[in-house]
Amino acid sequence: MVQIMKEEWGDHLLTQPLDGIDPYLRQPRLDELYDKILIKVKRIPDDVLEGEIERGRTLQIDGIRTKPPICEELAALGIYTHSEHFTDHTSLSSRTPSHIFSLSEYSFSALAGDGEKSRKLLEHNRDYFMRIYPKGSRFTSSNPDPSFHWRRGAQMVAMNWQKLDEGMMLNEAMFADTNGWVLKPAGFLSSDSHIDVDAIPRKTLDLRITILAGQYLPLSEVRRQSGVGVGGDRKFRPFVKAELHVEKQNRSLDYARENAPRETDNPDWGFDATPFEFLDVKNVIEELSFLR
C-alpha cells in the first residue's frame, strides 16, 4: 500500500518532515502544506524503533514478545498526523503537536455531557486534532449530527456517505462550495486561547421565513400521468418543513416548523402565508448552526 501511494502520488505525498519544522515542536501552517497529502496513521514508539525491527519478526520488549503494532514503512508516514490512543479525559493533557485522537460518538458524548470535561475537550481541540467516528450500533449506516461535535472543536467527523440522512445533509451544508475545510469561528481557534470557553461569542437569533410557492415538485411518472393539466396529481398534498439546528444544554436542538399542505406539484401558499418564526433563540454560534 505504501509503495502504491508513493508511486501514484509522487511528490504530493509528504514522506519527510519539512525543513525546520520538527513534528515534536510544532505543526506546519496550511500554506506550508499546500499541495501535500498527509497520512494519519499510528506511530511506532521510539523505544520500539530502536529495537532492530525486521518485517515479520516479533519483538522482545521488557521480557514480553509482541508483534510490531503497524508496518514500519506505513508508520513512517505519520509525520504531522499520527494517531494516539485515547484512554479517558486525562489523555486530553497530551501536548505532542502531531497527535490525533479518534473517539466514537458515544465516548465523545460522555465527555461533552460533563461540564468540566467538556471545557477540557474544547480547550484541547483549539490546539490539536480530533476525529469522531459513528458508534458501532449504527448498523444501518446512519449518521450522527456532526454539528454537535464541531461545536466542541472536533475538526473531523467521519460520515457514512452511503446514507443520505440528516447528518449527511448538515455535513454537505458545512462544506458546500469549499475545498473541504472551513475556518473555525471566533473562540475556537488556537489564537483564541486567551478567551475563556464560556465566553465564546454567541448571539440571539430572530429568523422569519415565508414560503410563497413551489413549482414542479418531482412526482413519479405514474402519478404525473394520472393528474389533470399542469398541476399533476390532484391528490398530492405537499407541505414544507423547516428545522433550525442549534445548540442547547449540551445537545443539538431541532426547532421544527411546518406549514399547511397545499394541492398538486405546484403548491401556492400565497403572499399572505404565515411565516415560519424562530424567535429569541439564544446562545447561537452562527457559523455552526444550520437551517434544513
* pLDDT tens digits for range 72-105: 899 999 999 999 989 888 999 988 999 999 999 9
> Would you say the C-alpha torsion 66, 67, 73, 79 has a positive or negative sign?
negative
The model carries a pTM of: 0.83
Decide if 134 contacts 144 (C-beta within 8 A).
yes
**Shortest CA distance to 124 belongs to which of 80, 146, 93?**
93
Cell matching residue 79: 509525520
List helix spans (H) across 142-249. 146-150, 166-175, 221-226
- The confidence score (pLDDT) of residue 255 equals 83
Decide if 273 contacts 253 (C-beta within 8 A).
no
Decide if 226 contacts 233 (C-beta within 8 A).
yes
- The confidence score (pLDDT) of residue 216 equals 87
201-238: pLDDT as tens digits: 999 999 999 999 999 888 877 776 665 555 557 788 99
Listed as ranges, residues in the chain with pLDDT below 50 are 55-61, 250
Kindly report the number of other CB atoms within 10 A of residue 82's CB atom.
20
Which domains are delineated in the chain? 2-198 (3.20.20.190), 202-291 (no CATH)
- The confidence score (pLDDT) of residue 107 equals 93
